[in-house]
Amino acid sequence: MYGIDRIRQRLGSELGVSDWVAFEQAEVQSFADLADDDQFIHVDSERATGTRFGGTIVHGFFVVSYFVSMIRQVGGMPGDVDMVINYGFDRLRMISPIPVGSRVRGRFTVSSCLEKQRGKTLIKYDVKIEVDGSEKPAIVACWLLMYLTS
């Protein structure tokens, strides 16, 4: 297991790229039910086919909810910290739609590292969500995580 120093050493460079994950209609429907966001573009395949997207698309916030899983895969949850707290976003943009059935992955770059006080380190990640087969990212974000150590 590696530590938070590995993340600090990656300042200004890519921490890693997550595995691909696919979002299928049943999962999108479950998220729609949970989030109470049943806009037809997400849940009605027949109606969505007639839109500019040509079919249903994944909720942006559903994909954002996968950030934790993705960053864990690339080493953003080191073993030498007591806790990692989601500190929010400086920027979050949903640039292009993700068709249901598409595969996406997260690319994480360490953009800043600030020692707030002893035992509290704020790390800012530039996150890009890529869609398999597309050159344009679906989501770009500036995500803040607070790492707490004893």
Instruction: Express each pLDDT in 83-133 by its tens digit.
Output: 999 999 999 999 999 999 999 999 999 999 998 888 899 999 999 999 999
Domains of the chain: 4-20+60-148 (3.10.129.10)
140 touches 96 (CB < 8 A): no
Share of the chain above pLDDT 70, in %: 99
**Percentages helix, strand, coil for the chain, rounded to the nearest 5?**
25, 40, 35
What is the arithmetic mean of pLDDT over 35-59?
Answer: 96
Instruction: Express each pLDDT in 9-20 by its tens digit.
Output: 999 999 999 999
Segment (H or E) for 107? strand 103-117
At residue 131, the pLDDT reads: 98
Report pTM. 0.93
Residue that has been written with the tokens 């800012």 in this structure: 124
At residue 41, the pLDDT reads: 97
